[in-house]
Amino acid sequence: MRRAGGGGGDFVLALYLGMRHPWAALGPWTSLTTGIPAVLDEPPGAVRTARRLARLQGLEDGVLLPSTLHLFHDLFALLGPGASAVLVDAGAYAVARWGAARAGCAGVPVIRFAHHDGDALRRALGRIGRRGTPVVLCDGVCPGCGRPAPLADYAAAVRERGGLLVVDDTQALGILGAGADGHPPYGFGGGGSARWWGLDGPELVIGASLAKAFGAPVAALSGSAALVRRFRALPGTRMHGSPPSVAAVRAAARALALNRARGDALRARLADRIGTLRRMLADAGLGTTGGGFPVQTVTGLADPAAAHARLAAAGMRAVLRAAPGPALTLLLRADHTDDELARAAGALARAAGPDERSVRCGTQATTEGCGARPRATTGGARGAAAPTPRTPATTTRPRPAARGPAARAAAGPGA
């Protein structure tokens, strides 16, 4: 179901699987909010829904919060006092970094290390003392370059030091899943990065918004039962702010039910939509970065701002990114039609400038956020096909000893 102004002409909606939760599908309620702080009493259905999500992710327990801003604010208030340092992947998303900054304000060293570089993480860990618990923060999938983080490498380094690995899995939740070797391109189940890598254990802490693939305006913290129990007792935003609304909790529960019933079919459809757009753009001499993920940045445009204006004139919205240089990004969804993709590709073809030859020659293009330089794809077997279970762009490989899920995931979905 699509709302006016939010349909096929929209390439700004991050509802990757096309999940929408109209009020009629959520059932009646007598009160939108309980009026009780969540630390005293969870909203109806919140405990059950959070636990089901945690099990989908391969973890023991979870708790729902209104947003990842609330989540990371409280999480680092909990972890900060016992932390020897917070080590932050240089490409980590801003909201999680703001949480880490709270630990920094309490005197905990906050150290950045090179993006998606397990060796850099180990060097940083080697420079801090042994007293306290090191906490490592990263995204499961970088929203800037579209690459999965080398979580197997990070988890091994953290485990060696008795630390914690905190993952913002907002981009991967609902997209990546287990068993990608037999279920390309994303795996099955949609449990996110931990499932993709085959990771579990008490050192793993996952925070994620469900507002992307699952279309529910709520966040969830998942981890060991002991950590979640400590988090629930924390008098932070769960004491001083409103809990998730009844509607948001029901939307999350419905999203998990839809995911069980047809999530894998929706993910296959999404992969097809991405492959179709890339093929159409390749026919016009244009490429994309973002690999197999739904955030596709168009390369080969002489003037991305002009192309953005051309799309707008044709009734289509896209994202114009300003840094590190102008770039046009399209967010793909499973419910985009061939006609909608063709309209966007046609408008971009008409806006293509004289530098499109550089794309055909394989020139690298910079993406916003992490500063990585993934190769633009332009067609042929790789550009025309739907994403394969290999990296969205070249990525740091796990250590040579890592085989099975780790070796598979080093390649990532798409190419």
Co-location of 124 and 183 in the same domain:
yes
Report the CATH number that the domain containing residue 176 is assigned in CATH. Answer: 3.40.640.10
Q: Are residues 135 and 277 both part of a single domain?
A: no
- Residue 52 reports pLDDT greater than 50: yes
Residues 245 and 316 in one domain: no
Same domain, 146 and 217: yes
Tell whether the model's pLDDT for residue 359 goes beyond 70.
no
Domain count along the chain: 2
- 5 in a structural domain: no
Is there a domain that residue 387 lies in? Answer: yes
What's the distance, CA 342 to chain centroid? 26
* CATH, residue 403: 3.90.1150.10
The answer to whether position 6 is within a domain reads: no
Task: Please determine, for residue 156, whether its predicted confidence score (pLDDT) is greater than 50.
Answer: yes
Instruction: Kindly state whether residues 268 and 320 are assigned to the same domain.
Output: yes
Clarify whether residues 245 and 289 are in a common domain. Answer: no
**DSSP conformational letter for 165:** E
**In-domain check, residue 16:** no
Q: Distances from the Cα of 375 to the Cαs of 59, 90, 242, 367, in angstroms? A: 35, 20, 44, 10
Domain presence at residue 213: yes
**Structural domain ending residue among the three candidates 242, 258, 274:** 258
pLDDT surpasses 70 at 54:
yes
Residue 367 has pLDDT above 50, yes or no: no
Residue 322 confidence (pLDDT): 86
The set of residues, in sequence order, having a beta carbon less than 8 Å from that of 344 and lying 6+ positions away, is: 11, 277, 311, 316, 318, 330
Q: What percent of the chain has pLDDT over 90?
A: 73
Q: What is the DSSP string of 288-347?
A: EESTTSSEEEEES-S-HHHHHHHHHHTT-B-EEE-SSS-EEEEE--TT--HHHHHHHHHH
Please indicate, yes or no, whether residues 360 and 407 belong to a single structural domain of this protein. Answer: yes
Q: Of 258, 284, 305, at which residue does a domain stop?
A: 258
In a domain, 205, yes or no: yes
Residues in CB range of 126: below 8 A, 6 or more apart:
none
| Structural domain includes residue 290 | yes
Same domain flag for 180 and 274 = no
Percent of the residues in the chain that have a pLDDT greater than 70, as a whole number: 83
Cβ(96)–Cβ(137) below 8 Å:
yes
In this structure, the answer to whether residues 238 and 271 fall within a common structural domain is no
- Taking only the tens place, the pLDDT of each residue in 86-129 is 999 999 999 999 999 999 999 999 999 999 999 999 999 999 98
Three-state SS for 111? strand
State the average pLDDT for the chain. Answer: 86
Same domain, 97 and 222: yes
| Domain shared by 216 and 266, yes or no | no
Spacing of C-alpha 254 from chain mean position: 20
User: How does pLDDT run across 187-238, given as a tens digit for each residue?
Assistant: 999 999 999 999 999 999 999 999 999 999 999 999 999 999 999 999 899 9
Q: Which domain holds residue 68?
A: 34-258
Residue ranges in 127-166 assigned as alpha helix (H):
151-160
**Structural domain includes residue 25:** no
Looking at 234, 258, 282, the residue that finishes a domain is 258
Q: What is the pLDDT of residues 247-268, one digit of tens each?
A: 999 999 999 999 999 999 999 9
pLDDT computed for residue 407 by the predictor: 45
| Residues 296-340: tens digit of each pLDDT | 999 999 999 999 999 999 999 999 988 778 999 999 999 999 999
Judged against a pLDDT cut of 80, whether residue 130 lies above it is answered with yes
Q: Average pLDDT, stretch 30-38?
A: 90
pTM of the model as a whole: 0.85
Is residue 276 located within the same domain as residue 174? no
CA distances from 369 to 141, 143, 411 (A): 12, 7, 21
